Amino acid sequence: MPPSPDSNQSNPAWSRDELVLALNLYLLYRNRLPSVNHPEVRALSESLNLIGNVTGVSKNQHFRNPNSVYMKLSNFSRWDPSYTNTGRKSLVKGNKDEELVWLEFANNPKRLAEVVATIKANVETVYATPLALSVEEEPGFFEAEEGKVLTRVHRVRERDKKLVKRKKDEALKKHGVLQCEACGFNFSKTYGPDVEGVIDVHHTKPLHTLQPGDKTKLADLALLCANCHRVVHSRRKWLSVTEVKDRYLAAKNKA
Ligand SMILES: [Zn+2]
Ligand SMILES: [Zn+2]
């Protein structure tokens, strides 16, 4: 009988953040998986419990015990060609996100390690920051590949009231108007000058580079209309401002 994956059957599904951390450990030991009692398995269990508590995934202090971590590591072998090419089959069934996380990160261990370090560095401080809207539940807004924690860091930064004001002031001084950097939409021209301020601010730095305590530079922010900002965040792999701009121009030229 295989050990049961979790001590508590009502445990929530693994979040992206958790899968990313587990994959990182799997890749370090893919040739020989560590045992349930291995210090790194225990350490990961503790990290996951902390992240789960802070992000609200589970308030149970021990919801990812070393046993469930061990099981998750074994699940990854199912996606690993270096395991399956030898004719071996992983017996455990995993969930769909495991495969996606595998596809997105397994061939880029450097980026994966950076994402893991950044998640760990940010989790406590970012969840201590109040955020008016629950960004994770906004319709049409996708959590990034890098998971909940870094998605939240991104949103906290682009909603910083003081920075948003400075960014708009700077653009007004420079260009005299506020325009979407992707599609060129001009608020005052369309709706009148008194609504110019409703333009969104998007934070452009890659998520794995966001360290707690960083000072956000105005150059890291882009002014976008609400539509273009939606498009940036409309899928798991967020688009860059340039990609949105290119799509906008390509569609316009076709029309
Ligand atoms: Zn736009
Ligand atoms: Zn954004």
Give 9's pLDDT tier (boundaries 50, 70, 90): low
Q: Report which bound ligand comes closest to the CA of 244.
A: 1
**In degrees to the nearest 10, what's the CA dihedral of 17, 20, 22, 28?**
-150
Give 1's pLDDT tier (boundaries 50, 70, 90): very low
Same domain, 101 and 157: no
With b for 16 or more beta-carbon neighbours within 10 A and e for fewer, the 161-199 pattern comes to eebbeebbeebeeeeeebbbbbbebbbeeeeeeeebeeb
Q: Report which bound ligand comes closest to the CA of 228.
A: 1
To the nearest 10 degrees (0 to 180), the angle between helices 96-105 and 16-28 is: 60
* Domain stops at, among 45, 78, 107: 107
Chain-centroid distance, C-alpha 166? 26
| Residue at 202 is within a domain | yes
CA of 205 to the centre of ligand 2 (A): 10
Q: Report which bound ligand comes closest to the CA of 155.
A: 2
Q: Is the pLDDT of residue 3 over 50?
A: no
Same domain, 93 and 160: no
With b for 16 or more beta-carbon neighbours within 10 A and e for fewer, the 134-154 pattern comes to ebeeeeebebbbbbbbbbbbb
pTM of the shown model: 0.83
Average per-residue pLDDT in the chain? 88
The number of residues making up the chain comes to 255
CA of 162 to the centre of ligand 2 (A): 16
- Total domains present in the chain: 2
CA of 196 to the centre of ligand 1 (A): 13
| Residue at 59 is within a domain | yes
Between 138 and 77, the more confident residue is 77
Q: Report which bound ligand comes closest to the CA of 182.
A: 1
Q: Report which bound ligand comes closest to the CA of 230.
A: 2
The SS3 call for residue 65 is coil
Over residues 59-85, the pLDDT tens digits come to: 888 899 999 999 999 999 888 988 888
Residue 202 host element (H or E):
strand 200-203
| Residue at 160 is within a domain | yes
CA distance 211 to 93: 35
Residues 41, 34: contact at Cβ < 8 Å? Answer: yes
Between 209 and 132, the more confident residue is 209
pLDDT of residue 7: 45
CA of 238 to the centre of ligand 2 (A): 9
Q: Report, as an integer, the average pLDDT of 190-217.
A: 88
CA of 191 to the centre of ligand 1 (A): 15
Same domain, 82 and 164: no
As a 3-state breakdown, the chain gives helix, strand, coil percent values, each rounded to 5, of 55, 5, 40
Residues 80, 106: contact at Cβ < 8 Å? Answer: yes
Residues 78, 101: contact at Cβ < 8 Å? Answer: no
CA distances to 40, 126, 131, 169, 225 from 115, in Å? 18, 15, 22, 33, 29
| Residue at 125 is within a domain | no
Give 203's pLDDT tier (boundaries 50, 70, 90): very high
| Residue at 176 is within a domain | yes
Q: Is the pLDDT of residue 6 over 70?
A: no
Residue 153 host element (H or E):
helix 148-158
CA of 151 to the centre of ligand 1 (A): 21
Give 220's pLDDT tier (boundaries 50, 70, 90): very high
Residue 154 host element (H or E):
helix 148-158
CA distance 146 to 236: 9
Q: How far apart are the first and last CA of the chain?
A: 62
| Residue at 137 is within a domain | no
| Residue at 72 is within a domain | yes
CA of 136 to the centre of ligand 1 (A): 22
Same domain, 249 and 157: yes
Q: Report which bound ligand comes closest to the CA of 186.
A: 1
CA distance 253 to 130: 43
Same domain, 157 and 219: yes
Q: What is the DSSP letter of 80?
A: -
Residue-number span of the structural domain to which 225 is assigned? 153-254
* Domain stops at, among 48, 72, 107: 107
Q: Report which bound ligand comes closest to the CA of 205.
A: 2
Query: What percent of the chain has a predicted confidence (pLDDT) above 70?
Result: 91
CA of 129 to the centre of ligand 2 (A): 17
CA of 229 to the centre of ligand 2 (A): 6
CA of 185 to the centre of ligand 1 (A): 5
